[in-house]
Amino acid sequence: MILRLDVRGAIVVAAAIIGLVTIAAPARADQCDDIAKQLAGGIDGLKVNFKAANIIYLTHPAAKELSLGCRAQGAAYSNELYAKGERKPTPQFYDLVASAAAIIFTVTKDDTTTGATRCLKRMGLLRGDKITMRYKRLNMECTRTKTDAAIAITRPKDE
């Protein structure tokens, strides 16, 4: 008995399997990249710089540093917005943080403006240079140094 190899049949079966795999798993853009594009389109003067690991670095004239952190494997939060500005934040900085948080976390801009303003203005002599608060299901952590003030906004994965 001679074992006869049917090459054409094997190629057809392999092509069918590859076709089914590519149809079953369509190529999707990263959710974090989509959010960065929405931010760049929705906020004047905001530019997307580069992506490193799970962080997309952004630039805007009102902020010294601005980044969008996306959920990594096992992280306790879904997305994170980090913004650093002057020690006494300007109204443009508040507007930038509120607009970006509203787009990232799909909350109204009024709510994010109120939360960011409360967090950044609570820092001082009585309460210290690090404030952690929760507003409208968002976790906000504000820190201050001699020259800078920063805010990090996150939402837990389960909310």
In which region does residue 58 sit, left (phi positive, over 0), alpha (psi from -120 to 50) or beta (all else)?
beta
**How does residue 16 score in pLDDT terms, banded at 50, 70 and 90?**
low
Helices (H), 2-55: 7-24, 31-42
pLDDT of 39: 87
Amino acid at 142: C
DSSP 62-103: T-SEEEEEEPPTT-SEEEEEEEEEESS--HHHHHHHHHHHHH
pTM of the model: 0.74
SS3 of residue 154 by DSSP: strand
Average of per-residue pLDDT values in the chain: 81
pLDDT of 72: 64
Who has greater pLDDT, 109 or 6?
109
